[in-house]
Structure 1
Amino acid sequence: MIKNSSQPQSSQGGCPVHHSGGSCPASELAAAFDPFEGPYQVDPAEALRWSRDQLPVFYSPKLGYWIVSRYHDIKAVFRDNVLYSPRNALEKITPATPEAMKVLESYGYAMNRTLVNEDEPAHMERRRALLEHFMPENLEAKQEMIRRLTREKIDGFIDRGRVDLVEDMLYEVPLTIALHFLGVPEDEITRLRSFAVAHAVNTWGRPTPDQQIEVAHAVGRFWQYAGEVIEKMRADPDGQGWMHYTLRKNAEIPEVVTDSYVHSMMMAIIVAAHETTSLASTNMFKTLLTHREAWGDVCADPSLIPNAVEECLRYAGAVVAWRRETTAPTRLGGVDLPEGAKLLIVQASGNQDERHFEDGDKFDIYRDNAVDHLTFGYGSHQCMGKNIGRMEMRIFLEEVTRRLPHLRLAEQEFTYLPNTSFRGPNDLWVEWDPEQNPERANPALRQGSVHFPVGAPSRKDIARKVRVTQVRHEAEDILGLTLEDAKGRPLPRWSAGAHVELCVGEYERKYSLCGRPEGAGYEGAILREEGGRGGSRHIHEVVREGMELKLRGPSNLFRLDEEASCYVLVAGGIGITPILAMADRLKALGREYVVHYAGRSRASMAFVPRLQADHAGRIQLYAKDEGQRADLAAIVAALPEGGQIYACGPARMITALEDLTAGLPENTLHFEHFSPHHAGLDPTRESAFEAELKDSGLTLSVAANATLLDAIRAVGIDIASDCCEGLCGSCEVEVLEGEIDHRDLVLTRAERAENRRMMACCSRAKNGGRIKLAL
């Protein structure tokens, strides 16, 4: 067991924590981990696959940092910027030599805190003061300039047939846009590029002692340059751009936006405002041109571009890792950390964690939760410029796919700047046949464009085409479907408990997958509900073999914990669909489990023959018309210690299980409802309310005809969502103050009583009161 230590020991030896028995998290793989060379520099996510599977938090003796590799652990760190301070985010990861320090001092270098690495309350006070320019409504006007600059660059090389996209477009355009946004002169792009590289190496790299001297001179000159620009700006008090705005705030509230802060922010943001977008855009083109089917789909359907950008940010984002430091002893990922522990939280690894993203190591532009990626960070320190980066990447991709759909990667060896935290090829050579340029036959293509609203992509535009290959009668009023990709491609893998969303005509409905993950297609079962909203009835009436449909997913919000001692699976009616997949998985793992399956009659119960064949001796059937009823009290009473119950079925069954497990350990009961219980907002019966977002420093007014989710997104804050019906739990937010009118089917009775969580898509402040959220 790892014991807490008040102070970390030397980072040059072994683990900095005292142990009393058990093994140290610094295993052989951990001891061998080197972020500056080898596998991590080639593919950070793949290099840490072993960590995600075996040791999600480990100590790296070579680095002197604790490495965090799983999605939910990384998100937990970002969420709490008091326990996990950002104070070391810009600290030199390789300590400076005395000689390098003297060089920096000779330039008067005095880099101070910025929005990236300062603690509360200073961080939020400054962020609130400087946020206005980054609001979605203030960014819309930038689209025209971005498109104009992009077209000018493409015009310059479209007939050449071979270019380095970095040199010819993807570095200079983001830098020009950044300087315009900041209000900085645009006349020294080459000089600024060398400064940005030096800053990255100085902060996140491992330069040799000789290189440190060279880098220190470049960083010092960068510092002086930033000071010179500030003085020029002060002489133009009415100048436009974010830095001019910052200087006016410096004059207005100098105790908040201080002189030293202005100088430090000027240097930091010149890099942050363009370097990450340049790298992300380069990664995007490399990734899409490597995955030719995805490239072809985007060329054919520009509406896919916003989500393709998000998937590129997830799969190959520019920000690989960030840093935090603990301010008190804590426990993360099952590991005790001491106060003062330095963390390298590897977003690139978390972004491919299959515990959150189904088939997470595969690139899929149809992934409907790609926007959950952590490349922009999360919470109060989430990147303020994320929507500028999105705008640029979308326009780059739309312009190039429209004008050069025949673009391809040239033969080349990719090189990268060695560092812990930023990633993108130094060069990206592409080629094409100019004779095939579509605009030679149709000059109007040069002027065409698609407008993408600022912000996260809409789920409505994210759906893959599938074909119905089989329609079956599974049971009375239950239709079985097998679906395959319309173009014959492999569908993404999925895990037990996963669901997809079928789009059939005007209806969009979620259904659990119940086949085998290794199968060629997806299998589902759909109950015809005469008293429902018409979706299931429509599917029963119109779906035929050979028909093409649209599908979103797979997503998994009813995930099976595979580490329990034993399992009781309880299904009511069509709730058997996710339970069947769980039984298959537990059998494959060799775990102890039993299935209790209840229905109104055997004729109405799907998959009974398969259950009896595949799970003989582990299945209990209860047909109501035969006088059989599941004794839920006896089932719960017989649960062995450490066992878990997974249930899917009607509300009354779930409620009864909640009652029966109320006194058992918190993680005992897991459930999923298969139908919503409300019909959405009725503005005539709702009350408006206010929601204070503590981490963002904003107070929102939520109208009677709007949801909290709508209001949060309107101010440019990304928040995940899926069903928007209170069924899935993906839009959960933490409640700090205020009473909640809970309307979801996710939280347990005990969780509702605690009043610490709510679903933003449907729940509201009780009686129009005021609430405070950790968001």
Structure 2
Amino acid sequence: MSTGSCPIDHAALGAAAPDSEGTGAASCPVSANAAAFDPFGDAYQADPPASLRWSRDEEPVFYSPSLGYWVVTRYDDVKAVFRDNITFSPSIALEKITPVSEEATATLAKYDYGMNRTLVNEDEPEHMPRRRVLMEPFTPEQLAHHEPMVRRLTREYVDRFVDSGKADLVDEMLWEVPLTVALHFLGVPEEDMATLRKFSIAHTVNTWGRPSPEEQVTVAENVGKFWQYAGTVLDKLRKDPSGHGWMPFSIRAQREHPDIITDSYLHSIMMAGIVAAHETTANAAANAIKLLLENRSVWEEICADPGLIPNAVEECLRHSGSVAAWRRLVTKDTTVGGVPIPKGAKLLIVNSSANRDERHFDNADDVDIRRDNATDHLTFGYGSHQCMGKNLARMELQVFLEELTRRLPHMELVPDQKFTYVPNTSFRGPEHLWVQWDPSANPERTDPSILATRLQLRIGEPSKRAISRPVTVRSIERAADDVVEVTLESATGAPLPAWSPGAHIDLELGELSRQYSLCGDPDDRATYRIAVLRDPDSRGGSAYVHEELRPGSTLAMRGPRNHFRLDPSARHYVFVAGGIGITPIVAMADRVKAAGGSYELHYCGRSTTAMALLDRVRRDHGDRLHLHSTADGTRLDVAALLAEPAEGTQIYACGPERLLTALADATAHWPDDALHVEHFTTTQRVLDPSVEHGFDVELADSGLTVHVGADQTVLAALRAANIDIPSDCEEGLCGTCEAPVLDGEVDHRDVVLTKPERAANTKMMTCCSRACGSKLTLAL
């Protein structure tokens, strides 16, 4: 397919669908928007996702005649292409998108330019063996060694301009620090920064840009010099490869695997590695700071709560990442998003557009640093070709934001500046980023101690525990003996997130984190209500609420989340609550009553004086309520209640384990999906290597096999292998670390999955569940 051609067989089209005059002629089916698409135009360069909103809405897979590529813009389609690196070969990822002039080609030949395959553009079966051999320096454990250097460099560069009142962050920090970090990570001696910057830009323009024939020669000169430089440094390292860094590691690996790590391969990754480790991070940092300063309230939230920085980094990578698009070659006739694509076609997969797809991300154009699926972004790609250096980039962005929000919280963008970008299809970041501030208001002038504080970095995908928002206690009222009802409101005045019956929130109570079900009105976005029992066997959470909490107290809250959802299609509901388990159940009963549904509510307790929210339950559900009080001799006969299965009936229960166990026994003869329970506590036990066994986990989408030791969780093993997977409670209670299972029998140890879900064996909680046999295959 040549640039400007149309991939449609017009002869066949005309024969099948003659026009109104019966001539058999037919017009090109390329739409006007598709024909006008220009990835080198101002709109795409400034904001690729916004420029392609029309495509996501109307034509998510289209052919661009001017580019000669099919363009893919929706999340599910882009991820599907990334997942299948056989049908969609990465071999053209580094192909020059603009035809090269003869003079430029001759210029490159003068420098013996011989850029070959790298991890980015290599097909199987060569790619994965090399990736496995070269992976170790990218694991979180190894990357931790670079943190002190990243912090030191960032501090030194900010010191240079902190008292000046104005700076171009790109020129004065965001280009040079990532470059130095990249060289340090690679194990390359630090050379002239200005020259390397010119080389790096030239490589980008040479591969993904549209230079004029005259510009191509200059670009080729710099690329050729870059190639020679890479070879010179490689020769130096070969003389003594004993040092730290990815290149010395690769040279040592070549001695053990000479057939996998060849000389030409080392030269190519030497050059590509500098660009990959440097330029994308520098651009990502500039994009992130620009985005946050444009959304001032978000910037101020991070300044007030640095714990939000890890998720802010993910949201910035999602909303305005530095990697706009990748390219793939179609190896066989196939379909993408239902559109037939022929063998030999070229794809421009716009992952930045996928990251703003409303079908996957709610209010995708908004900047929401508490977005619970921000880490689903495709800025690092996905599958076997996902960026190996993703966690080094995350580390750098976290350190940059921590240093700037601490020392220059009053920093702002210089008004009316025009942002420019190096024209290319795939990598973007402002060439300059001017900011200003009042040096006399620098916090360190009045409190030098802030320079000594630092956050504990998380290397890898951020924990869901990092996504919190401040809430204030509006009131605390007695709800029963040893039970208080706590009403919470947003500390910022913003509406609280929407929730549905069965949802819970996590509250940070001093050094503890505890989960509480919401029992208020889901339509009330101004307040949340929870009820907390003072438990004599408490591990500290309920004691904190009863003894320390006061109206006006401010807490960090995460959520809400819901793994105990109400099925709206049931004919009849049986609600069973034991003690404080009434909290999620009453919200469910409220919802069914409001919808005019059929239900009954069984509320069990030691005595009526100890039953929380009883006045409310009596008032709102009196005609459907059945009270069961041990003190009054009216204990619930679970077996009698559930003796006969009833078609279309769903049972929802929350309470002590003995009640839930009795319900499980009593419904053994019911359909598997009839009983739904919410647990108070986990059944997880500490791993005992003497009774556990090790097993392998094959990752179908990543092409890796990870061994899980007898003393190790699946979650820990995945993270050690540089595989992103979120988590929160890590006790099998919350469901955050769920992973899809393709093969192998799971030893389920969580309290999240239902009996039918366990029997289906299609998902597992990686923080606690294990393999029954020697192997599991996960869709990761």
What TM bracket, shorter-length normalisation?
0.7 to 0.9
Alignment partners' CA distance in 2, 1:28 and 1:699: 48
Please say if 1:317 is aligned against 2:324. no
Normalising to structure 2: TM-score of the pair? 0.78
In the TM superposition, what are the counterparts of 1:316-465 in structure 2 within 5 Å?
316-411=320-415, 412-465=417-470
Distance 1:350 1:98 in 2: 37
Match of 1:274 in 2: 278
- Give how far 1:438 is off: 3.1
| AA matched with 1:439 | E
- Residue of structure 2 aligned with 1:548, choices 551, 554, 557: 554
* Cα distance in 1 between the residues matched to 2:498 and 2:433: 31
What does residue 727 of structure 2 align with? 721
The one-letter code sitting in structure 2 at the alignment partner of 1:489 is A
Q: Structure 2 matches for 1:627-666, cutoff 5 A?
A: 634-635=647-648
Alignment CA distance shift 1:581-1:278 (3 Å): farther
Deviation at 1:696, TM superposition (A): 5.7
Asked whether the 8 Å contact 1:567–1:594 carries over to 2, the reply is: no
- CA displacement at 1:401 relative to structure 2: 2.6
* Structure 2 counterpart of 1:599, one-letter code: L
Amino acid at match of 2:764: M
Deviations along 1:70-123, one digit per CA (max 9) or x if unpaired, are 444433433333343322222233344555444434443332211111122221
Residues 228 and 75 of structure 1: CA distance in aligned 2, closer, same or farther (over 3 Å): same
Q: CA deviation digits over 1:411-436, x for unaligned, max 9?
A: 21211222222221111111122223
Deviation of 1:196 after TM superposition, in Å, equals 1.4
Q: Which letter maps to 1:370?
A: A
1:728 positional shift: 6.0
Give the structure 1 partner of residue 191 of structure 2. 187
Asked whether the 8 Å contact 2:49–2:356 carries over to 1, the reply is yes
Indicate the residue corresponding to 1:12 in structure 2.
Answer: 5
Mapped partners of 1:218, 1:203: distance in 2: 13
CA RMSD of aligned residues (A): 4.7
Shift of 1:276: 1.0
Aligned pair 1:738/2:731, yes or no?
no
Q: Select between 422-431 and 542-551 the one with higher mean Cα deviation.
A: 542-551
- Work out the CA distance in 1 between the residues paired with 2:668 and 2:55: 35
Distance 1:595 1:419, change over 3 A: farther
Please give the alpha-carbon distance, in whole angstroms, between the structure 2 residues aligned to 1:70 and 1:59: 14
SS of the counterpart of 1:709? helix
- 1:500-543 CA deviation, whole Å, 9 max, x = no partner? 434456352264698567x6435567697999989997799687
Does the residue aligned with 2:421 lie in a helix, a strand or coil?
A: coil
Aligned-partner Cα distance in 1 for 2:474–2:62: 47
Identity of aligned residues (%): 48
Which of 154, 158, 162 is the aligned partner of 1:154? 158
Q: Please give the alpha-carbon distance, in whole angstroms, between the structure 1 residues aligned to 2:676 and 2:368.
A: 26
On the 8 A contact 1:372/1:720 being kept in 2, the answer is no
SS at match of 2:489: strand
* C-alpha deviation, 1:760, in angstroms: 1.4
Report SS of the residue matched to 1:191: helix
Instruction: Please name the residue that 2:177 is paired with.
Output: 173
Equivalent position SS for 2:559: strand
* Secondary structure at 2:723 match in 1: coil
Instruction: Give 1:248-287 correspondences, 5 Å limit.
Output: 248-287=252-291
Change (3 A) 1:725 1:147: closer
TM-score of the aligned structures, taking structure 1 as reference length: 0.79
The structure 1 residue matched to 2:707, chosen from 691, 700, 706, is 700
SS at match of 2:196: helix
1:98–1:428 CA distance, 2 compared to 1 (3 A): same
Tell me the SS of whatever aligns to 1:452: coil
Matched-pair contact (CA < 8 Å) for 2:679–2:751 = no
Q: Deviations over 1:264-291 (max 9, x none)?
A: 1112111011101111111222122223
Kept after mapping to 2: 8 A contact 1:513/1:581: no
- Structure 1 residues 686-695 or 278-287, which shifts more? 686-695
Letter in 2 for 1:416: Y
What one-letter code is carried by the residue in structure 1 that aligns with 2:601? Answer: G
CA distance in 1, matches of 2:665, 2:214: 68
The one-letter amino acid of 2:772's match is: K
Identify which of 239, 246, 258 aligns with 1:242: 246
Q: What SS does structure 2 have at the residue aligned with 1:700?
A: strand
Quote how far apart the aligned CAs of 1:38 are. 4.6
CA distance in 2, matches of 1:345, 1:595: 47
User: Is 1:710 paired with 2:716?
Assistant: yes
Moved more, 100-109 or 474-483: 474-483
Within the candidate set 212, 234, 238, 1:230 is matched to 234
Deviation at 1:201, TM superposition (A): 1.9
Can you list the C-alpha shifts for 1:183-227, whole angstroms capped at 9, x where unaligned?
223222212211211221222223344433443333233223322
Which region of structure 1 is more displaced relative to structure 2, 25-34 or 116-125? Answer: 25-34
Residue of structure 1 equivalent to 2:637? none
Between the aligned partners of 2:618 and 2:71, the Cα distance in structure 1 is 47
Contact 1:497 1:556 in 2 (8 A): yes
What's the CA shift for 1:171? 0.4
Distance 1:710 1:577, change over 3 A: farther
Amino acid at match of 1:740: V
Q: What SS is found at the alignment partner of 2:120?
A: coil
Partner of 1:589: none
Question: Contact between 2:410 and 2:437, CA under 8 Å: does it hold in 1?
Answer: yes
Shift of 1:175: 0.6
Checking the alignment, whether the CA contact within 8 Å between 1:478 and 1:606 is kept in structure 2 is no
Query: Which whole-Å deviations, capped at 9, do the CAs of 1:675-721 have from their partners, x for residues lacking one?
Result: 378421243595132224443645323334x4211222234322123
TM-aligned CA deviation for residue 178 of structure 1 = 1.0
Q: What number of residue pairs does the alignment pair up?
A: 729
Supply the distance in 2 between the matched residues of 1:658 and 1:771 (Cα, whole angstroms). Answer: 29
Q: Secondary structure at the match of 2:380?
A: coil
Paired with 2:100 and 2:598, the residues of 1 have a C-alpha distance of 64
Q: 1:531 and 1:541 mapped to 2: Cα distance?
A: 12
Change beyond 3 A, Cα 1:469–1:196? same
Distance in 1, Cα, partners of 2:444 & 2:315 = 29
Conserved? CA contact 1:11–1:65, under 8 Å = no
2:471–2:490 Cα contact (<8 Å) kept: yes
Cα 1:117/1:300, change in 2 over 3 Å? same
Q: Which has the larger radius of gyration?
A: 2
For 1:439 and 1:601, how far apart are their aligned partners in 2?
Answer: 57
Q: How far apart are the structure 1 equivalents of 2:384 and 2:297?
A: 37
> CA 1:75/1:83 → structure 2, altered by over 3 Å: closer, same or farther?
same
2:511 is aligned with 1:509: no
Structure 1 residues 436 and 490: alpha-carbon distance in aligned structure 2, compared to 1, 3 A threshold: same
1:175–1:274 CA contact under 8 A, matched in 2 = yes
The one-letter amino acid paired with 1:703 is A
Instruction: Confirm or deny that 1:766 pairs with 2:762.
Output: no
Distance 1:740 1:159 in 2: 58
Residues 616-675 of structure 1 deviation map (CA, whole Å, 9 limit, x = unaligned): xxxxx9767899999986549xxxxxxxxx99767899999999999xxxxxx9997543
Q: Structure 1 residues 673, 198: closer, same or farther in 2, change over 3 A?
A: farther
2:493 partner SS: coil
Gaps (5+ residues) in structure 1?
A: 1-7, 585-592, 613-620, 637-645, 663-668
Q: Amino acid of the residue matched to residue 260 of structure 1?
A: S
Instruction: Report what 2:601 is aligned to.
Output: 599
How far is 1:133 from its partner?
1.8
Q: Deviations over 1:121-165 (max 9, x none)?
A: 221211121122222222222222222222222222222211101
Q: Determine if contact 2:502/2:517 at 8 Å carries over to the other structure.
A: no
Give the letter for the 2:252 counterpart: R
> Structure 2, unaligned stretches of length 5 or more?
18-26, 576-583, 605-612, 629-639, 655-659
Instruction: Indicate the SS of the match to 1:78.
Output: helix
3-state secondary structure, aligned to 1:314: helix
